[in-house]
Amino acid sequence: MSVPNHIAIIMDGNGRWAKKRGLPRVMGHNAGMKSLKEIVRACSDLGVKYLTVYAFSTENWKRPEDEVSGIFKIMVKYIAKELAELNRENVRIRVFGQWEAIPEEARESMELALAQTEANTGLQFNIALNYGGRKEILDAVKKLYAETEASGAKIDDLREEDLQRHLSTGQTPDPDLIIRTGGELRLSNFLLWQCAYSEFVFRDIFWPDFDKKELEGCIEEFNQRHRRYGGLLL
């Protein structure tokens, strides 16, 4: 089985998973963290180089205050519980998005995770946190414009690479495979620039029920695709 270099996941369905069981929505997010732990380990074991997960979008602030607060508390708990194991697995953590604006305790947890895993050389585990694809592109355009004004460069000489290096994803390769759980068939403002030639797999299963077997099924489907990048198969 050929393994994608970069897998990105929209972890959808936590709230509906909880509602189906008569539980508070935040309990679905807690269950989702258990799935995340399994998938990070699975990607590391399978030899995936990059894993990016959509943890909290810029639109998620619209949710009830207790749910938002609960999500960040679960993040803090996840980092505290799993950081040592992630280090043992040689996983490097990176964070995309405007994560400086998240609650202080969660931000400090992320800063600790970044610092302690910076030198690791295994799976790069990217967490999209307070992230929105449109905002990312807009911010990159603003930075590139300021840079161009300062340097006197000509607009017509700019290349895609000039904009891309100002994205929060930086030099991370574009995702080969994007998986969305929860049954919805949309991107929800996730990696809009980076997904130009990604393959998509949608699963009608809530994120807390997504496991290594489901991941392997998505990878098998990916392997059945023919990636032409606008050209023809020879």
Contacts of 40 (CB under 8 A, 6+ apart): 51, 86, 91, 123, 125
Contacts of 168 (CB under 8 A, 6+ apart): 96, 97, 131, 136, 139
Of 5, 60, 87, 120, the active-site residue reads 60
Of 12, 14, 30, 130, the active-site residue reads 12
Question: How many percent of the chain have pLDDT more than 90?
Answer: 92
Token pair 């930086």 in the structure block, residue: 170
* pTM for the full predicted model: 0.95
Backbone angles phi, psi at 201, to 5 degrees: -130, 120
Q: pLDDT (tens digit, 9 = 90+) per residue, 25-77?
A: 999 999 999 999 999 999 999 999 999 999 999 999 999 999 999 999 999 99
Task: Go through the domains of the chain in sequence order and give each one's CATH number.
Answer: 6-134+174-223 (3.40.1180.10)
162 counts as catalytic: no
> Quick one: pLDDT band at residue 233, thresholds 50, 70, 90?
low
Q: pLDDT (tens digit, 9 = 90+) per residue, 68-86?
A: 999 999 999 999 999 999 9
5 counts as catalytic: no
Asked if 161 and 139 count as a contact pair (C-beta separation under 8 A), the reply is no
Q: pLDDT (tens digit, 9 = 90+) per residue, 181-229?
A: 999 999 999 999 999 999 999 999 999 999 999 999 999 999 999 877 7
